Amino acid sequence: MPPMRQSSLFPELTPPRYAEHTAGSFVGNMDAPVHRWFRYSAGFSGAWAADLIASEAEERPVRVLDPFAGSATTLIAAEQCGAESWGLDSHPFVARVAHAKLAYRSSPSDYRRTAARVLAHAKRIEPDLASYAPLIRRCYSDDALRQLDCLRRAVESVDGDSAPGRLAWLTLAAILRPTSHVGTANWQYLLPDRRKARVAVPFVAFQAMAQVIQDDMEAIGGVTGPRADFGLGDARTCAGLPDRRFNLVVTSPPYPNNYDYADATRLELTFFGEVRGWGDLQQHIRQHLLRSCTQHVPNSAVDLDEVLSSPELAPIATQLRSTCTRLGEIRLARGGKKTYHNMVACYFLDLAQVWRALRRVCQSPCRVCFVIGDSAPYGVYVPVVEWLSELALAAGFRSTSFEKTRDRNTKWKNRKHRVPLCEGRLWALG
């Protein structure tokens, strides 16, 4: 797509090109120190984020913001580039992972001692499986769950606010998948009826993970410079962030593709007792998130007309209404009757608010980079890049452009529709 409404008054705002890495993929992070501590499928490439920040920092001192910080990929990359950075995520479990990973610059020997103490303590205490929800009983053998329960109690005996305490919690969170015999679908959803071939023993996995964390902390010891400032928060308001503070935003909002960030972390949330069943996910998690999945937007919760009449959506209102009307009609003929019509409308309203919040907290000039993809629920194409661009311009950014990084949905087999999709980087400048 060519640059959209590029303003000649702002020649310095030409978007740069970073084509080397697949920005949208977490896969490369599994070999990268610190990034690899927690497999977060929704994450993007730490190497790409670091390249982008380093290259921007050659031109001017950067103040980086990631309002959808996820597992803290951008913030760790910014720290490693010596840049100031801030981040938010509104998913309580994911935010805790990010907060724990950001303790990577604390003392490796304190962490080593804490992890060893946790493991020794866990091996001495009596497990109690009575309080675990049925999902957890299905996901672990009794033997595995006994060890995990003892590890959990031992982790809880450490000061959870201290850096070693945060890292000890992360060590346990990181082994919950490898120690479960239950299969996992794409994007981390659980498949309790499928079994994995290889399952790790919790005490052994904890020790191995602790070694990885300690090795990375020692290897990366030379990182100095500003520490990232991260908190639980909502990108739609960016509440608590000061006005006109940032000049570089590197982020990836949820895509309007029905990925359920709450369900994707159900195993961990249930193990730690934050939810007991599926019904708790809405109240405890989804209600804090951008509305990007149909589970979030039943007809009982959304007044579609009111959403579509919101002034924030004015720049795309006509096209959006016609897409939502079509989706509302198609669903009536489909078995699942998914509420994509509500999801698409609410998603763009939420993103319109994000752009407004970003305009408030960003300096002028600034550069905003969204890693984003389009979608086609029920085969109806949603021009995500185009509409997000319109909303960015309406919020006060001066120009937008899009760099495609990959095509999606090109293998027709087993696909629900044949609409070609893509993923890439949407830049908003101004």
Which parts of this chain interact with ligand SAM (CB under 6 A)? 40, 42-44, 67-68, 70-71, 73, 88-91, 94, 234-236, 252, 254, 261, 289-290
> Angle, nearest 10°, between helix axes 340-361 and 384-395?
40
Q: Which two tokens stand for residue 329?
A: 């009609």
> Shortest Cβ distance from residue 395 to ligand SAM (Å)?
16
Which CB sits closer to ligand SAM, 98 or 151? 98
Rounded to 5 degrees, what angle do the CA atoms 92, 65, 361 make? Answer: 105
Residue number with the smallest Cβ distance to ligand SAM: 70
> Shortest Cβ distance from residue 212 to ligand SAM (Å)?
18
Which CB sits closer to ligand SAM, 49 or 155? 49
> Shortest Cβ distance from residue 236 to ligand SAM (Å)?
5
> Shortest Cβ distance from residue 156 to ligand SAM (Å)?
24
* Rounded Cα gap, residues 253 and 256, in angstroms: 9
Which CB sits closer to ligand SAM, 370 or 387? 370
> Shortest Cβ distance from residue 335 to ligand SAM (Å)?
28
Q: Identify which of 128, 170, 98 has the alpha carbon closest to the alpha carbon of residue 136.
A: 128
- What is the SS3 assignment for 166-215? HHHHHHHHHHCCCCCCEEECHHHCEEEEEECCCCCCHHHHHHHHHHHHHH
Which CB sits closer to ligand SAM, 96 or 105? 96
Which CB sits closer to ligand SAM, 180 or 265? 265
Given a contact cutoff of 8 angstroms between Cβ atoms, the answer to whether 373 and 382 are in contact is no
> Shortest Cβ distance from residue 325 to ligand SAM (Å)?
26
Distances (CA, A) of 225 to 49, 71, 86, 99, 205: 17, 20, 14, 18, 33
Given a contact cutoff of 8 angstroms between Cβ atoms, the answer to whether 179 and 202 are in contact is yes
Which CB sits closer to ligand SAM, 67 or 256? 67
Backbone φ, ψ for residue 272 (5° rounding): -80, 5
